[in-house]
Amino acid sequence: MGFDYSIFLSLAFLFGIAAQFRAAEGFSFLRGLISSLEGRLGVMYAVVAVTAVFSPFVLNDVLVLILTPVLIAYSKESKTDVAPLLVAMVTFTNIASSLTPLGNPQNILLWQGTGISAGAFVEGTWLRLAASGAIAALLLFWFRRRFSGRTAPSAKGPWRPAAYLLGSAAAVFVPNVLGVSSLLSLALAFALGFAFTFRSPRRVAREFDLKSLIILYALVGMVALVALLVKPVVSPYVAPAAAGAQPYTAEFFAAVSAVISNVPATQLVLSTAPVSAHAAPTLAVDAGLAGNIDPISSFANLLALLMAARSGVGVRRAILLQLAVGLVAFVPAAL
């Protein structure tokens, strides 16, 4: 498969949707939601619920950037171990973000590169992701405890972020089901955001994570170039993975993501071998769940750990717990 340069524009629109969400008070909305759910579910499962619901529609790295400071502050205030909270957030961000084309960059690559519809994408991913989520939730129950503190009191969260997410999901899925291209569907979703942020266009610009987008561009472009140079060597190993042959595809993404992360691993496959629309959901699930195994496998993992370390929080326990939960929750990827 030749490299599709429209992927760069699709990724920009994806980052734009995330910027619109943050500019529409996404931070206050999610923090307030976790606070309101804590009394019923406990803070850890409140985090699980929020990430599971919103990760399919907001870039997973954005959720990590929003929620990690909240969890660190909670841990310090309540004098509790932050590791299970960080692992719950990262695990379910990676799992749930793999459900739709909007949740993470590797899904955008697969959606754009194979031409699969958004509806067919979800139809092909949901079952194994639900199984992985159930396994992870059971594993995390062992670490659940009644935390002594509570999240900082929060007023009722603003309605605009939720309304924008619903609207952007409709703007992507409905036109795409009707045959509109994925690129145009993303453009419509991004344009819709200005209905919620028209009074603060400068804030949208400030919230746009241009640095991360440029890094992602560099990674995707570099991997695509390297793949062209080494294609004769790696093709025998990539071809079965591109076809979605299991358990080989799952093993391939687990191994390669541990070395170069799951987004470059996905681009390596797309640049080296043809990927059919039928196989795209399989690759999305395998790449997403592979991101839960170690800190290198997903940029979301690295973000959470770096933010925790900079706040003076030890991360060794979180890394070990993530490895244990991630490996077991990865099993459905091979099915």
User: Do residues 86 and 69 make contact, with C-beta atoms less than 8 angstroms apart?
Assistant: no
Answer yes or no: is pLDDT of 132 > 50.
yes
Q: What is the pTM of this model?
A: 0.87
* pLDDT range class, residue 240, cuts 50, 70, 90: very high
Q: Tokens 């629309």 correspond to what residue?
A: 277
Q: What is the mean pLDDT of residues 205-231?
A: 88
- Rounded to whole angstroms, the Cα distance separating 176 from 199 reads 29
Compute the mean pLDDT over every residue in the chain, rounded to the nearest whole number: 88
Q: Which two tokens stand for residue 174?
A: 């409905």
Average pLDDT (63-89) is 86
pLDDT interval class at 4 (50, 70, 90)? low
Q: What does the pLDDT read at residue 152?
A: 46
* 3-state DSSP assignment of residue 245: coil
- Res 221: pLDDT: 87
Length of the chain: 335
162 pLDDT higher than 90: no
Task: Round to whole Å and give the CA distance between 266 and 198.
Answer: 35
Task: Tell me what the mean pLDDT of segment 35-50 comes to.
Answer: 87
For the chain, first and last CA: distance in Å?
26
Residue 155 has pLDDT above 50, yes or no: no
Q: Which two tokens stand for residue 280?
A: 């795209």
Query: Mapping DSSP to helix (H, G, I), strand (E, B) and coil, where does residue 107 land?
Result: helix
pLDDT on residue 1:
47
* DSSP per-residue letters across 15-54: HHHHHHHHHTTHHHHHHHHHHHHHHHH-HHHHHHHHHHHH
Contact 117, 278 (CB under 8 A): no
Strands (DSSP E) found in 235-296: none
pLDDT exceeds cutoff 50 at 192? yes
